[in-house]
Structure 1
């Protein structure tokens, strides 16, 4: 991996992590049982990944550093499986089984659905001549 790819991933990852942190600060106090910041980060990340997948498919000439900054960097920093896992285990340890099931379903099904929605949104934008 070259220096510019390394730098692109690092800048993207820092930006994504800062956004995730901000979402946690903004949303987690709203409903303490269910950490909405992590859920929002993963759902937003899924949607943006879908958009990025479609956009990058249609714009194959973009430099690899840009592709890495967006996907591996920014979206990798924004989304978080480890925090999702920790929050899920916390709910299990509190014996809040319905909330545990709900958070698992919201993250997993929600993220996949949002990725598909992101692909569809980018296709619609492309058809409309926006991208």
Structure 2
């Protein structure tokens, strides 16, 4: 894989990151008001990002996502911008500061294990479609 720092790769990562961040922002606007105490937008971003990362990993494993700039656009750029550890951390800390320990635990569990599960499902989906 040629992931060298060059103009094409830099633009690919930057554009992907912008699109991912805008998508995460839109998810927050669309879904955070549904459950004011539990930010669904970030959860949806992290779970869908996990699923899409699994799909990307599956495609990379098949050699289908082989162009270095496209791979960087999707993984480091778009999915890096879409998913967010910093927002997850801030939201978890906010729940803890409000003494909402059950919600904080649920929040942390669903983000961490949910994203892992979604990534595994993404890889499995690619394997299923391949066969």
Interval of TM-score (by shorter of Structure 1 and Structure 2): over 0.9
Give the CA deviation at 1:91. 0.2
Whole-Å Cα distance in 2 between the matches of residues 22 and 42 of structure 1?
A: 13
Give the CA deviation at 1:61. 7.0
Aligned counterpart, 2:35: 31
Whole-Å Cα distance in 1 between the matches of residues 71 and 114 of structure 2?
A: 24
Give the CA deviation at 1:56. 1.2
User: TM-score by structure 1 length?
Assistant: 0.94
Aligned 8 A contact 2:12 2:69 in 1:
yes
Whole-Å Cα distance in 1 between the matches of residues 113 and 67 of structure 2?
A: 32
Over the aligned positions, Cα root-mean-square deviation in angstroms equals 1.0
**Could you list the per-position Cα deviations for residues 106-125 of structure 1 after superposition, in whole angstroms to 9, with x for gaps in the alignment?**
00000000000010011111
Give the paired residue count: 127
Deviates more, 1:5-14 or 1:56-65: 56-65
Whole-Å Cα distance in 1 between the matches of residues 27 and 126 of structure 2?
A: 24
SS at match of 2:49: helix
User: TM-score by structure 2 length?
Assistant: 0.94
Moved segments of 4+, more than 3 Å: none
Match of 1:115 among 106, 116, 119: 119
Aligned counterpart, 1:124: 128
Judging changes above 3 Å, is the alpha-carbon distance between structure 1 residues 61 and 42 closer, same or farther for their aligned structure 2 residues? closer
Match of 1:52 among 45, 51, 56: 56
